[in-house]
């Protein structure tokens, strides 16, 4: 089974709550590095899923169930990575406007105006 199994409702709930809290903290403090830590943590979880998938024992009796769980957890983690990346860009834009400096990436300026 995966290290962090996002297919269990309790684990998913804890992940979503931590995601919201870190997002709120980074937005409130206007520090983009806080959301970057969250992004790198989810990327590290993805790397662990790849390692677990590669190290699966082919002769295990419930290999199909384990593979399906890892694949589904990977999908949920990919959604978290995508959301974390957009939150990082959003907080970075807010931090740059507050400090009156250029943001890392201004290509989504049209999107931030609508948020």
Note the Cα 112 to chain centre separation in Å: 20
**Spatial separation of the C-alpha atoms in residues 34 and 49, rounded to whole Å:** 23
Task: Please report, for the chain, the start and end positions of each structural domain, with discontinuous segments joined by +.
Answer: 9-114
Q: At 61, which helix (H) or strand (E)?
A: none
What band does 106 get if pLDDT is binned at 50, 70 and 90? low
- Are 6 and 73 in contact by the 8 Å Cβ rule? The answer is yes
Query: pTM of the prediction?
Result: 0.79
pLDDT at 82: 93
Mean pLDDT of all residues in the chain? 84
pLDDT at 78: 93
Angle 35-40-46 (CA atoms, 0-180°, nearest 5)? Answer: 130
The 10s digit of each residue's pLDDT in 46-102 is 999 888 888 887 787 888 888 888 888 899 999 999 999 988 888 888 887 787 776
Angle 86-72-62 (CA atoms, 0-180°, nearest 5)? Answer: 160
Helix axes 9-29, 63-98, angle to 10 degrees: 10
pLDDT at 30: 85
């Amino acid at each position: 089974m995966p290290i962090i199994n996002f297919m269990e409702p309790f684990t998913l709930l804890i992940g979503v709550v931590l995601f919201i809290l870190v997002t709120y903290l980074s937005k409130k403090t206007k520090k983009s590095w806080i959301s970057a830590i969250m992004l790198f943590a989810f990327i590290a979880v993805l790397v662990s899923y790849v390692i677990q998938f590669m190290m699966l024992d082919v002769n295990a009796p419930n290999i199909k169930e384990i593979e399906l769980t890892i694949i589904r957890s990977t999908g949920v983690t990919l959604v978290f990575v995508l959301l974390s990346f957009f939150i990082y860009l959003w907080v970075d834009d807010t931090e740059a406007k507050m400090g009156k400096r250029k943001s890392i990436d201004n290509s989504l300026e049209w999107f931030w105006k609508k948020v």
